[in-house]
Amino acid sequence: MTFADAPVPHQRSRLRAACRSPWMLLVLLIFAAAGGFFLLTRPRLRFANRLAAPVRLVFGDDASRTLAPGETITLSNARGRTVVAEWQMIRPLSADSQPMGEVIRGAVVLRGTRGIVVETADSRAGGTDYFAPLITNASSQPLRVMVNAGLEGAVDCGCAVRSGATRVFIGYYRLFRNSTVLARDSAGGRATFQDLGPQVLRADGTLGLRFEDKDLRNRRTAPVATAPGAALPPARRPG
C-alpha cells in the first residue's frame, strides 16, 4: 500500500528535472553572455570609403575587396594577431585606358587587442589634401584639362572631356590654397579657375567646374573662389 499523496516514481523524476532546470538555464545564460562578450570585444576594423571613387581594400591575407563610394565595412581579427589593412583608390581611366589623377592610398595596423579601429578613405591621405574637379563642358569643342597649371606638381589629366559632358570625374589631385584648373580647346582658347583651395568644402573633396564657349573664346579667367574654407599651403610656382 502507498499513501495517496506520496509521489510516484515518474512524479519524482519530474520534480528532480524541475529542480535542475533553473541551474541549467543559469549555465546557458552564462555561456551565452560569455560568447556575446567574446564577440563584442573581438578586435575589429571599421572601414569607410568617403571618396567619390571606389576603393580597393586588402585586409591581411584575405582576398582584396572593392568598396563603392559611401560604403562601410566591418572586419574581425583574431585575438593576439596583428594585421595590416591597406587601401588604395581605384583611379578612373582615360579614353586610352590610362589612369587619371594622383594615387591616393593608406594603411592601418590592427593589433590583437579588443575594440574597434576606425579607418576612413577620404580626401586627406598621408597628411596631404586632395580634390576632385568635376568638369562640365558646356562649350562646343572637347577640352583638355590640366590641374595646378602654372604650379609645381602640375598634372595633365591625359583626357579630352567631350562637348556636352556633365560633371566628369577625372581623378584626384593635390589641393593647395592657390590650386588651378585649366581647360583648353583645339583652337587655342583657354580658361582657368584659380585659387580653388577655399572653395573645396565637400567631405569627398569634389568641386564642380563649368566651362563655356564665352570663357574659351575670350581666353578669360574664370571667377576666383571667395568662399571661406580651411587654411591650405600655397603651391610654389616653378622656376
Radius of gyration of the chain, Cα coordinates, nearest whole angstrom:
30
Per the listing, cell 577620404 goes with 122
Single-letter amino acid, residue 231: A
Residue 11 CA to residue 126 CA, distance in Å, equals: 74
The predicted-structure confidence for 63-74, as pLDDT tens digits, reads as follows: 999 999 999 999
Mean pLDDT, the chain, rounded, equals: 81
Give the Cα separation of 211 and 163 in Å (integer): 10
List of domains in the chain: 26-122 (2.60.40), 129-219 (2.60.40)
101-134 residue pLDDT tens = 999 999 998 876 667 889 999 999 989 999 999 9
Is residue 193 within 8 A of residue 225, CB to CB? The reply is yes
Residue corresponding to grid cell 578669360: 220
Quote the pTM value: 0.75
**pLDDT of 206-233, one tens digit each?**
999 999 999 987 655 554 443 333 445 5
Q: Report angle CA 76, 81, 84 to the nearest 5 degrees.
A: 75
